Structure 1
Amino acid sequence: MDEIIQQTRAVKDLSSHVLGRLETMLEGPAWQGGGRLPPEAELARQFGVSRPVLRKALVKMRDAGRIISRRGSANFVQPRADVVPSAADMQGLSIQTVFDMKRCMRFRQVVECAAAEDAARLCDPEGIRGIEEAHRRMLTLPPGEGVFEADFAFHMAVARATRNPYFPFALGTMRNQIKLMMEFTRKLQERPPDQVAPRVVEEHQRVLEAIKAGDPVQAHEVMSFHMKQSVIRLLVEDGA
């Protein structure tokens, strides 16, 4: 019995030691945007412990919201946003968990659906040209250039097409959070940062067409669909 107790204590001590090393590792710059952890067998060898010991440490990190598991297999580090947005009302907000991402996406959905609706209702030629230009930029993205800037430019163009400065202001305050979520989603899907997803381009095209047609209801609906698909991609329910 004493031997079993000693072995149990030894495992706990080792797992605590591994937990500390994992936490230190994930504080490094390479992991601030999240990413996929090496396989458990590789990590166990790296730390010089057995897989059961490593798993105890990983369980604690999952409980703390630092990592998540994808369909019960790979472990992914959740990103952290330490940059505080410039707007006073956004101070203190950061993305540290998937729950934070979902809340941010919910707010973004409200703002962007209303923006698309108002842009279609106004149907301003200059605003539409701005959306078209942003859309073309994503279609002709040079190799090696990240998708985020082109994607965000499209959504900002829709916001500006409302001619209501509060829409681009609200969206602009979320820029860092949106970038973090997009980068994390791409890491989950193991997609290169410069690879344009055809489905995203198609969804943008539908938003553009609804706004050009001056159809507020359709613009709201297609933007809502696009936002919902973004949540699905974030949660890795659909790798497309």
Structure 2
Amino acid sequence: MPFQAIESQRLYQQIAGQIGALIRRGEFAPGDRLPPERDLARSLGVSRPVLREAMVALEIAGLVEVRTGSGIYVQPPQDSEAPPDPTQNPLDLIRARRMIEGEIAAAAAGNATAEDLAGIAGAMAMIEAAVADGRDTLQSDRLFHVRIAAATGNPVLVSVIEELWARMMAAPVFVTLRRRTGLTDYEPSMVTDHSRILDALRRRDPAAARDAMHAHLAQVEEVMLCGDSSG
């Protein structure tokens, strides 16, 4: 098998580059199924979660399609020569949110007014209602996080969170990744995560708010990296 083990930081980018080069050279033709995930990870000398990150990058580039329960298939060449936007990788966006929103939650715990907390609680109630009714929680989830940013009293942070969410929701691969990885099935647990964040804000506990936000977004990342790509 024409793969080389890789040892470096940002492994998924190098793996995506290596597999992408093989596809462009014709080692794999459009419609071909790539080797099973476990075999591919073993050949490359990396973990399966790292390989899944590479597959996300290749999907963004339009080189492969991951079909749940079937496998990873090579896509026909794209007409556009425009390079993919690296800021639309949903995993990188989640990680950016984790770095930023932990501190935002801590700041909100110290600065939130009673009105702010009521607004965050209102967004929490919308999430709970959506989960109970089997509806999508994406918009109410976004509102919850934006209102926490607003509770810091810093409009720049509100703009940052709105921009991160806009990029994530505009990412072509985000919707399919969200569905494929079972992130929607995680929504009942998400209610618990958000309740912990809200509780820490109400207790005016910056450290607990930071930890709860970090734990929530780390769980989202883990779910996105543990979806089924068959093999």
Under a length normalisation based on structure 2, what TM-score does the superposition of the two structures give?
0.61
Name the CA shift for 1:16/1:182 in 2 (closer, same or farther; >3 Å): closer
Name the CA shift for 1:214/1:190 in 2 (closer, same or farther; >3 Å): closer
Greater C-alpha radius of gyration: 1
- Map of 1:161 onto structure 2: 151
Does the aligned pair in 2 maintain the 1:113–1:219 contact within 8 Å? yes
Deviation of the 1:236 alpha carbon: 1.8
User: For 2:92 and 2:168, how far apart are their aligned partners in 1?
Assistant: 12
2:112 aligned with 1:134: no
For structure 2, the residue ranges without an aligned partner over 5 or more in a row are 1-25, 41-53, 76-84
Deviation of the 1:187 alpha carbon: 1.7
- Map of 2:192 onto structure 1: 202
User: For 1:164 and 1:112, how far apart are their aligned partners in 2?
Assistant: 13
- Map of 2:215 onto structure 1: 225
Under a length normalisation based on structure 1, what TM-score does the superposition of the two structures give?
0.59
1:162 alignment partner, SS class? coil
Matches within 5 A, 1:17-28: 19=30
> What percentage of aligned pairs have identical amino acids?
24
Aligned length: 172
Name the CA shift for 1:75/1:156 in 2 (closer, same or farther; >3 Å): same
Counterpart amino acid of residue 113 in structure 1: G
Does the aligned pair in 1 maintain the 2:183–2:220 contact within 8 Å? no
2:176 aligned with 1:184: yes
Deviations 1:143-181 (A, max 9, x none): 574321011111111111111111110011122333247
Counterpart amino acid of residue 123 in structure 1: A
- Map of 2:99 onto structure 1: 110
User: For 1:76 and 1:206, how far apart are their aligned partners in 2?
Assistant: 40
- Map of 1:151 onto structure 2: 141
For structure 1, the residue ranges without an aligned partner over 5 or more in a row are 1-14, 23-53, 79-91
Choose which of 58, 62, 69 in structure 2 pairs with 1:65: 58
* Highest RCO, 1 vs 2 (Cα 8 Å, sep ≥ 6): 2
User: For 2:205 and 2:28, how far apart are their aligned partners in 1?
Assistant: 60
User: For 2:57 and 2:101, how far apart are their aligned partners in 1?
Assistant: 32
Name the CA shift for 1:146/1:62 in 2 (closer, same or farther; >3 Å): closer
1:75 alignment partner, SS class? strand
2:110 aligned with 1:121: yes
Name the CA shift for 1:63/1:172 in 2 (closer, same or farther; >3 Å): closer
User: For 1:237 and 1:147, how far apart are their aligned partners in 2?
Assistant: 19
User: For 1:222 and 1:153, how far apart are their aligned partners in 2?
Assistant: 17
Deviation of the 1:116 alpha carbon: 0.4
